[in-house]
Amino acid sequence: LSRSDDKNVAFVELLLPLQRSLEVYCRRMLRDPSHVEDVLQTAIMEAFVRFDRYAEGTNFRAWMFRFLTLEIFNRNRKREPAPFGDGLDDFPGPPAHDWPEDALSLVLENPGPLLEHFEDRVVEALWQLTTAERAVLLLRAVGEFSYHEIHTILAIPLGSVIGYLSRSRRKMRQALADYAAQRGLHRTEGPQP
Amino acid sequence: MNCTEARQHWMLFLDSEGDPELHLRIREHVGGCAACAGWFAAQRVIEGKITEAVSSGEPTPQLWQRVMARVPSPPSRPRRRRWLLPAAALSAAAALIALAVYLNGVRSAPTELSRNAADWHEQWQRGNVRPELESTSDHEVDRYLKARVPFRVHCPPRTDVQFSVQGAGVCFMKDQRQAAYIVGSVGKSPVTILVLDKSGIEGFPQGFHHRKEGTYQVASAVIAENVVIVVGTATPEVLERLLHAYGSYHEG
């Protein structure tokens, strides 16, 4: 096999196991779902062209996700503000833990009704997050990346990774608690309808 | 450390991030505080549910066929017994890289499947690959796999034939079909269990089968809706007992 053939083989072998996570991440991140295929295609070709610079044995998964993330940010640009241009890059303090405890604990006691449409509700809540929050949350959940890997992929400080992750989780929980309240799955303060 | 301090760092704790000393202090506090133990358990459940929901989804075969068609194709190679990434590509960052496994020639089962399963077992034994999930909890492995594959799969409980689980994961075949793997040991003998959806494999014969692949024994069988393959250096009888144990596990 020629060197070029070896490159092709190596690239495809590294890429194939990532198909599921790349596609799920892309679908959850892209504002326009009709662009999924095109974005994946563009990101993969970008990575392939630069595959000579990839150091064998290093983290291909993170390397590939960086190409895809940049392409997604580029594609979402018309519909969302620049993900890290909002002055929020500084570490926003320790992760808050003031969750709506009552709502969540009651949901946990009786999760059945909530779980009935849980996935749809969670996916809906994702779109309430900023691009940066969504990217960090999904890189963690879908890509199963460590904080340090996310810091590398997004090229933002480690403290910002923690900050965005904390905020995204808080918002997701709040959305779920709101949903539980709408469905009467927990007590709410004040007069009941 | 008090409750407020411990809860302030819940995220680092659940994500296994940050200073080990911090983890130790949180663990000590949670160990002695029932309220926090419950609180941390609740966080784990919520995050698990959210993660499960946002990460659900399968690759679309037609989409990937079109995408991959535009990547310059590798030439067909002489048949090689490899369904894993090159060991060199995994060794430096094995813990970070998702297990990348794909099977060749599934339709030539069971011979090819046995061979591939033995190859994977050997790579795992050599330390060239690590499972996606490293866990000694059969419940955790059970939950992990059930959340990731669309077909029936479970982890044999420890009480069955003294199987001790060490980890698990999911791999993709070349035709996009998924397979689940479980690694562990029976007694002191390491074993790999590979579980596939029976409907994805043509012509897999009924009953139990034994093969020898190099230094490994391979036992396989169609069990309910699965094809299950067990590989290890244990005797065929031990591997078959594990297959029986897998088959005798009833799900609610």
The fraction of chain B above a pLDDT of 70, given in percent, is: 77
Model confidence at A107, pLDDT cuts 50, 70, 90, reads low
Q: Is the pLDDT of residue B107 over 90?
A: no
Q: What is the mean pLDDT of residues B168-183?
A: 72
pLDDT at position A101, please?
Answer: 57
Whole-angstrom distance, CA of residue A42 vs CA of residue A56: 22
CA distances from B73 to A44, A145, B122, B217 (A): 13, 29, 29, 36
Q: What ipTM was predicted for this assembly?
A: 0.81
Instruction: Select the residue of B8, B88, B102 nearest A97 (Cβ to Cβ).
Output: B8
Distance of CA A53 to the CA centre of its chain: 26
Q: Does the distance separating the beta carbons of B56 and A119 come in below 8 Å?
A: yes
Q: Does the distance separating the beta carbons of A40 and B63 come in below 8 Å?
A: yes
Burial class (CB in 10 A: 0-12, 13-18, 19+), B105: middle
B183-232 pLDDT, tens per residue? Answer: 999 888 999 998 888 876 766 777 778 888 888 999 988 888 888 899 99
Q: Does the distance separating the beta carbons of B42 and A108 come in below 8 Å?
A: yes
Q: What is the mean pLDDT of residues B60-82?
A: 63
Whole-angstrom distance, CA of residue A178 vs CA of residue A172: 10
pLDDT at position A138, please?
Answer: 96
Q: Is the pLDDT of residue B102 over 60?
A: no
pLDDT at position B42, please?
Answer: 80
SS3 of residue B213 by DSSP: strand
Q: Which residue has the higher pLDDT, A136 or B120?
A: A136
Strands B226-232 and B133-134, bridge-based pairing:
unpaired
Contact of B114 with B138, CB cutoff 8 Å:
no
Tokens of A102: 């009552």
User: Which of A99, A170, A114 minimizes the C-alpha distance to A137?
Assistant: A170
Q: Which residues of B touch A142 (CB under 8 A)?
A: 54-55
Whole-angstrom distance, CA of residue A83 vs CA of residue A168: 14
Model confidence at A161, pLDDT cuts 50, 70, 90, reads very high
Tell me the residue ranges of DSSP E strands in B120-162: 133-134
Q: In a mutagenesis test of the A interface, which of B64, B76, B178 is the best target, namely the one with the most A β-carbons within 10 Å?
A: B64
CB neighbours of B50 closer than 8 A, spacing ≥ 6? A122, A141, A169, A172, A173, A176
> Distance (Å) from the C-alpha of residue B13 to the closest C-alpha of chain A?
12
Whole-angstrom distance, CA of residue A176 vs CA of residue A178: 5
Q: Is the pLDDT of residue A68 over 70?
A: yes
Q: Which residue has the higher pLDDT, A142 or A8?
A: A142
A19-53 pLDDT, tens per residue? Answer: 999 999 999 999 888 899 999 999 999 998 888 88
Query: What's this model's pTM, rounded to 2 decimal places?
Result: 0.56
Q: Hey, is the C-beta of B42 within 8 angstroms of any chain A C-beta? A: yes
Q: Does the distance separating the beta carbons of A162 and B102 come in below 8 Å?
A: no
